[in-house]
Chains A and B, each alone.
Chain A
Amino acid sequence: MSGRDKKVVFKGRVLPWLLLAPQLAVLAVFFFWPAGEGIVQAFFLSDPFFNTMIFVGFDNFRDLVTSPEYWDSIRVTLVFSLATTATAMGLALALAVAADRVLHGSMVLRSLVIWPYAVAPAIAGMLWLFLFHPAFGVLALALRELGIDWDPLLDGTDAMVLIVAAAAWKQVSYNFVFFFAGLQMIPRSLIEAAAIDGAGPLRRLRDIVLPLLSATSFFLLVMNVIYAFFDTFGIVDAVTEGGPGGATRILVYKVYKDGFQAQDYGSSAAQSIVLMAIVIVLTFLQFRYVERRVNYA
């Protein structure tokens, strides 16, 4: 069988496993074990000290799907993730193209664009809140001067715009690095040839640059969706706390809030399983339908 072929490469079965062991151990301890505990927890109702653990079957899940607020959270999460991903990737691509064309030599400017990635989500949230809080935000007061009715404390759309802006701002740097590296990989000769053939900058972007960036873009799409779904609770916690009226109550924020602030471990675990399932399905769909168009040349 094919196992025999492998033996030609690896002498004995021990060495490969030994080489894999450290990584597997890390995965087991930091991923599979807690994830497994989380799955078990989702079927129990318990006090935080685990003195009382009542098996409740699918009750924790039933409570979620029968709550209209939970379905609203799913809708809010999809809107938030789509908007954040589109904004973060769109801006990063624009910046990368600009940097590639204009700032070619400037290491300083390129480095500056990368800075926000180092900012913790909660801090990023606070920064944006200080700019846009209707009572004391510098830019919010400016908007008010201009006669724009800006109130993220009571207007759900304004609140959503604010957290999308904060979440996207943080992620733009990450995307920028990859787009910028991707652009540098594109052979100059291709672009020059197109230019000689009379293609303008936009045409070259559409027909040469973007197709050649498709592998990078696909990777970033997957990463950005995962970021928006999992990594953004700190921003919501600092900026809107899910308000107003639940307009920014994204799923991962509820997982965090119910688990780490309310110590409702059963529901929090059930919610995290639902969240994980949604992301798995989305990632699968991305690979199934989007990856087909990716050019790995």
Chain B
Amino acid sequence: MKNGSIGLFVAGAMLALSSTTALATTQVHFWHAFSPDIKLGKVLAGYAEAFNASQDDYEIVLTYKGTYDDTINATIAAVRAGKQPAIAQVHGPAVPTLIFSDAVVPVDQVMADAGYTIEWERFIEPVMAMYQFEGKQMAMPFNTSTPLMWYNADAFEKAGVAEVPASWDDLEAAARKLKDAGYACPVTSSWQEWVVLKNYTFVEDQPFATKANGMQDPDAELTFNKTRFVDHLDRIQGWIKDGLYEYQGRQWTGAHQAFYNQRCAVMLESSAGFGGISQNAKFDFSATLLPVEADNETPRNSLIGGAGLFLMKGLDKPVYDGAAAFFNFLASPEMQYDWHQNSGYVPITVDAYELAKEKGYYDEFPHQELAIKQLMRAPSDNTRGIRLGYMVQVDEIINEELENVWSMKKSAQEAADDMVRRGNPLLSRFAKTVE
């Protein structure tokens, strides 16, 4: 009925479009969430310009669509109206929505059709795994980060913390010293559901949900309430009671401000936080790997954050060829090294990592290597990724219940049980929509 006529209209519109664009360069529309006012947006614009200047066949047309949420909503609306862009930048929580949808084309297929031979095994595994589905590469990773432990080195010196903490027990001991030295907030974290919960289950090789965290099948159940995570949560609740940890809000602003003004001496935060920290911290700071449990001999890779580039279905072959050429351009070691340096995100290929090492980049910025090292640890079924539906709502539930732990309203076990009780119906609802 209605859809049929819309389809016809779209087909007609696209025919009209393709007949006009065939004369000139093919436009490849790329919707993204990096404001042109900030450095990331400027770097991206520079890449599009460089690519457009490097050849005559294709033109990447960047459109800033607002936040990540704005971008995915605009993309969904555009698909439904038949006016989708070729490339859309999609952030973590919305990735399953696109992977299970009928609205995208796999990147590896498009690259192959355009005649590019990509050595996918040269890409960093946990980064790529997040976007793999049924043996296909559904998206190209773009901006990728992972949490690290940032610390105020001056504070460590003042408090007599000689060794940088490597285990959670070490961190607790250091926090007590920092407390004694007068720091009101020895430890804090940004993005708590990502750092305090998910990354803990990854590094400690604990399941977050069944079916390899939904990577095998989204009809999974949350199980972290039966793992060591509960002890970890209990420990941090104890830290709050003892004044060793202070909650600074769900996102990053509060934690960063408290770190900058030296209220908090240790901040568990994304590797991509480097930009802000380096500009605002007026003290000697550094970073190290996320702490591990003292008895954990094989810590696993941490969980990535950030966004990937999806290719939307229903466009003409030249458009996809243009997108493939652009991806090929972006994935070159030189471009990835440049991206790594200018954005603070990790490179997505081993070759780019090796190039950065070769150029001595990590001698000057050693913490930039930490994120890659942490991601290149051998993964297990618990750490290949998380692919569950309605993750925005699940994350909200996790945040609410974590706050109930921090405010002493609930014990760690009660809160973890409530997260699972409230989250599981959402997972099964989502699973029904993709079967």
Does the CB pair B258–A136 fall under 8 Å?
A: yes
A-B contact pairs, 10 of them (CB 8 A): A45-B433, A47-B101, A47-B434, A49-B103, A63-B429, A135-B261, A136-B261, A245-B400, A257-B396, A264-B429
Segment of B249-257, B318-326, B344-352 in the binding face = B249-257
Interface: B142 (CB within 8 A) = no
Binary interface encoding of chain A residues 126-170 relative to chain B, with 1 for a CB under 8 A from any of its CBs, else 0: 000000011110000000000000000111100000000000000
Residues 406-435 (chain B) with a chain A CB within 8 angstroms: 406-407, 409, 422, 425-426, 429-430, 432-434
Segment of B73-81, B294-302, B363-371 in the binding face = B73-81
Interface SS majority for chain B: helix
Q: How far is the CA of A52 from the CA of B93 in the complex (A)?
A: 20
Interface: A182 (CB within 8 A) = no
A258 with B393, Cβ < 8 A, contacts A47-B101, A154-B406, A241-B399 known: yes
Q: How far is the CA of A36 from the CA of B28 in the complex (A)?
A: 36
Interface centre among A46, A51, A67 (most CB of B within 10 A): A51
Query: B residues within 8 A CB of A264?
Result: 390, 393, 426, 429-430
Does the CB pair A135–B257 fall under 8 Å?
A: yes
Does the CB pair B254–A153 fall under 8 Å?
A: yes
Does the CB pair A262–B247 fall under 8 Å?
A: no
Query: B residues within 8 A CB of A258?
Result: 392-393
- How many of A's residues come within 8 Å of B, CB to CB? 36
Q: Which 6 A-B pairs have the closest CB atoms?
A: A262-B392, A136-B257, A244-B403, A245-B404, A135-B258, A154-B407
Residue of B nearest to A66 (CB): B425
A47 with B69, Cβ < 8 A, contacts A136-B261, A155-B407, A262-B393 known: no
A47 with B425, Cβ < 8 A, contacts A242-B396, A244-B403 known: no
Interface: A33 (CB within 8 A) = no
Interface SS majority for chain A: loop
Query: A residues within 8 A CB of B76?
Result: 48-49, 263
Tell me the total A-B contact number using a CB cutoff of 8 A.
Answer: 108
Query: A residues within 8 A CB of B80?
Result: 49-50
Interface residue from B102, B248, B390, B404 paired with A49 (Cβ < 8 Å): B102
Count class of interface residues, chain B: 35 or more
Q: How far is the CA of A296 from the CA of B339 in the complex (A)?
A: 68
Query: A residues within 8 A CB of B430?
Result: 264
Interface: B94 (CB within 8 A) = yes
Residues 357-413 (chain B) with a chain A CB within 8 angstroms: 390-393, 396, 399-401, 403-404, 406-407, 409
Interface centre among B69, B253, B258, B400 (most CB of A within 10 A): B400
Does the CB pair A47–B97 fall under 8 Å?
A: yes
| A residues in contact (CB < 8 Å) with B | 45-52, 54, 63, 67, 69, 133-136, 153-156, 241-246, 249, 257-258, 260-264, 266-267
Query: B residues within 8 A CB of A52?
Result: 433-434
Does the CB pair B79–A49 fall under 8 Å?
A: yes
Does the CB pair A243–B102 fall under 8 Å?
A: no
Interface: B263 (CB within 8 A) = yes
Interface residue from A63, A135, A263 paired with B263 (Cβ < 8 Å): A135
Does the CB pair B432–A54 fall under 8 Å?
A: yes
Query: A residues within 8 A CB of B406?
Result: 154, 244
Interface residue from B69, B72, B403, B422 paired with A243 (Cβ < 8 Å): B403
Does the CB pair B103–A243 fall under 8 Å?
A: no
Query: B residues within 8 A CB of A49?
Result: 76, 79-80, 101-103
Does the CB pair B102–A51 fall under 8 Å?
A: yes
Query: A residues within 8 A CB of B399?
Result: 241, 243
Does the CB pair A260–B69 fall under 8 Å?
A: yes
Residue of A nearest to B254 (CB): A135
Q: How far is the CA of A52 from the CA of B430 in the complex (A)?
A: 11
Q: How far is the CA of A50 from the CA of B93 in the complex (A)?
A: 19
A263 with B407, Cβ < 8 A, contacts A45-B432, A54-B433, A136-B254 known: no
Interface: B100 (CB within 8 A) = yes
Does the CB pair B390–A262 fall under 8 Å?
A: yes
Does the CB pair A241–B250 fall under 8 Å?
A: yes
Query: A residues within 8 A CB of B257?
Result: 133, 135-136
Q: How far is the CA of A243 from the CA of B395 in the complex (A)?
A: 12
A263 with B94, Cβ < 8 A, contacts A47-B433, A49-B102, A50-B80 known: yes
Q: How far is the CB of B253 from chain A (nearest CB, A)?
A: 8
Binary interface encoding of chain B residues 258-285 relative to chain A, with 1 for a CB under 8 A from any of its CBs, else 0: 1001010000000000000000000000
Interface residue from B93, B97, B247, B432 paired with A153 (Cβ < 8 Å): B247
Interface residue from B69, B247, B248 paired with A261 (Cβ < 8 Å): B69
Does the CB pair A241–B407 fall under 8 Å?
A: no
Does the CB pair A48–B396 fall under 8 Å?
A: no
Interface centre among A69, A134, A135, A153 (most CB of B within 10 A): A135
Q: How far is the CA of A260 from the CA of B393 in the complex (A)?
A: 11
Q: How far is the CA of A69 from the CA of B401 in the complex (A)?
A: 12
Residue of B nearest to A264 (CB): B390
Does the CB pair A153–B393 fall under 8 Å?
A: no
Query: B residues within 8 A CB of A45?
Result: 429, 432-433
Query: A residues within 8 A CB of B432?
Result: 45, 54
A47 with B100, Cβ < 8 A, contacts A52-B434, A241-B399, A243-B403 known: yes
Does the CB pair B407–A245 fall under 8 Å?
A: yes
Residue of A nearest to B406 (CB): A154
Q: How far is the CA of A67 from the CA of B434 in the complex (A)?
A: 24
Does the CB pair B401–A48 fall under 8 Å?
A: no
Interface centre among A63, A241, A258, A261 (most CB of B within 10 A): A261
Q: How far is the CA of A135 from the CA of B422 in the complex (A)?
A: 30
Does the CB pair A244–B407 fall under 8 Å?
A: yes
Q: How far is the CA of A15 from the CA of B51 in the complex (A)?
A: 60
Q: How far is the CA of A109 from the CA of B93 in the complex (A)?
A: 47
Residue of A nearest to B435 (CB): A52
Q: List 13 other contacts, CB 8 Å, given A63-B425, A135-B263.
A: A45-B429, A46-B433, A47-B434, A51-B101, A51-B102, A135-B254, A136-B258, A154-B403, A156-B407, A242-B400, A243-B399, A244-B403, A245-B409
Q: How far is the CA of A245 from the CA of B397 in the complex (A)?
A: 8
Residue of A nearest to B69 (CB): A261
Q: How far is the CA of A49 from the CA of B432 in the complex (A)?
A: 15
Q: How far is the CB of B358 from chain A (nearest CB, A)?
A: 41
Query: A residues within 8 A CB of B404?
Result: 244-245
Q: How far is the CA of A267 from the CA of B425 in the complex (A)?
A: 12
A133 with B249, Cβ < 8 A, contacts A48-B76, A52-B434, A261-B69 known: yes
